[in-house]
């Protein structure tokens, strides 16, 4: 039912907006896009795992203007990334430094005249936002009843008819491959400013950690309750094993 409602909404609202299209054949038909929007995932860890996809887009479209739409915490992770020309920051209600509502965010995105939107999240909202932004090509996974909003649909991996979990780096890179990216290296990247690096070195030095010392960081916390938490005893076991081996 939700899919029918979405399709009906799109048909009613088409007007002068980008027309819905069938799935395009891949790389050979992809133009040299000059303005690209990447809609980043919500969670910090997923944003980090999206950095190989951003790098792949930059390598495929070296002269393009690449903008990333991200939540505030994700925007912090992407700051200083040399593959990104602009970071547009907004929360799920469209509120950010440049906008005060979803409507204002849509108007901002339209003004950017993006030719391609790469939609990393699986949500219907993300696909609808790319469509409302009037991006000419919109690539994403065909899930959550959102296929009518996409021009380039990627089927999710399935086994026996059921969607199966895949490493998020691979999942995001598959979208890039759909639009002709071939340099699909998987190294994740976070770039720090010189000031941040100096502060980190100062803190480590105060803790007796030298520049040549091996450093392991354990982060046992997580949002949204115990479902995302690894047991404290397991963290302790990993710490003990690291201490024994190194």
Instruction: Find out whether 88 and 98 touch, Cβ atoms under 8 Å.
Output: yes
| Residue in 44, 74, 39, 41 with CA at minimum distance from that of residue 223 | 44
Q: What's the rounded Cα separation, in Å, for the pair 173 and 49? A: 10
Strand-pairing partners, residue 86, are 67
Strands 158-159 and 152-154: unpaired
Instruction: Find out whether 25 and 154 touch, Cβ atoms under 8 Å.
Output: no
Q: What's the rounded Cα separation, in Å, for the pair 243 and 213? A: 13
Give the helix, strand, coil percentages of the chain, each rounded to 5. Answer: 40, 15, 45
Q: What's the rounded Cα separation, in Å, for the pair 119 and 231? A: 33
Which secondary-structure segment (H or E) carries 76? helix 72-78
Cβ-Cβ contacts under 8 Å for 69 (sequence gap 6 or more)? 37, 38, 39, 40, 88, 90, 109, 129
CA dihedral 78, 81, 84, 90 (to 10 degrees): 20
The rounded Cα 213 to chain-centroid distance in angstroms is: 33
Q: What's the rounded Cα separation, in Å, for the pair 205 and 31? A: 50
Instruction: Find out whether 17 and 36 touch, Cβ atoms under 8 Å.
Output: no
Q: List the chain pLDDT tens, one digit each, 246 residues.
A: 444 445 454 445 444 444 444 345 455 567 789 999 999 999 999 999 999 999 999 999 999 999 999 999 999 999 999 999 999 999 999 999 999 999 999 999 999 999 999 999 999 999 999 999 999 999 999 998 899 999 999 999 888 888 888 899 999 999 999 999 999 999 999 999 999 999 999 999 999 888 788 888 888 877 766 767 788 899 999 999 999 998
Strand, helix or coil at 78?
helix
Residue with tokens 């409602």: 5
Instruction: Find out whether 129 and 50 touch, Cβ atoms under 8 Å.
Output: no
């Amino acid at each position: 039912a939700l899919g029918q409602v979405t399709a009906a909404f799109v048909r009613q609202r088409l007007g002068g907006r980008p027309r819905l299209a069938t799935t395009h054949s891949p790389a050979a038909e992809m133009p040299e896009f000059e303005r690209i929007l990447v809609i980043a995932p919500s969670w910090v860890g997923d944003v980090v795992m999206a950095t190989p996809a951003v790098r792949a887009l930059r390598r495929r479209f070296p002269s393009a203007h690449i903008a990333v739409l991200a939540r505030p915490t994700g925007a912090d992770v992407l700051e200083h990334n040399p593959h990104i020309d602009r970071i547009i920051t907004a929360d799920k209600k469209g509120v950010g430094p440049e906008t005060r509502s979803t409507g204002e965010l849509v108007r901002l995105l339209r003004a950017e005249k993006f030719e391609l939107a790469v939609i990393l999240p699986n949500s219907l909202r993300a696909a609808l936002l790319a469509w409302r932004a009037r991006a000419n090509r919109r690539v994403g996974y065909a899930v959550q009843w959102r296929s009518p909003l996409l021009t380039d649909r990627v089927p999710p991996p399935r086994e026996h008819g059921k969607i199966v979990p895949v490493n998020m780096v691979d999942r995001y890179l598959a979208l890039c491959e759909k639009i002709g990216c071939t340099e699909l290296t998987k190294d994740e990247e976070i770039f720090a400013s010189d000031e941040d690096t100096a502060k980190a070195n100062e803190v480590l030095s105060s803790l007796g950690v030298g520049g040549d010392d091996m450093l392991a960081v354990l982060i046992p916390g997580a949002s949204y309750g115990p479902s995302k938490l690894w047991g404290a005893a397991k963290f302790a076991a990993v710490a003990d094993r690291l201490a024994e081996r190194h």
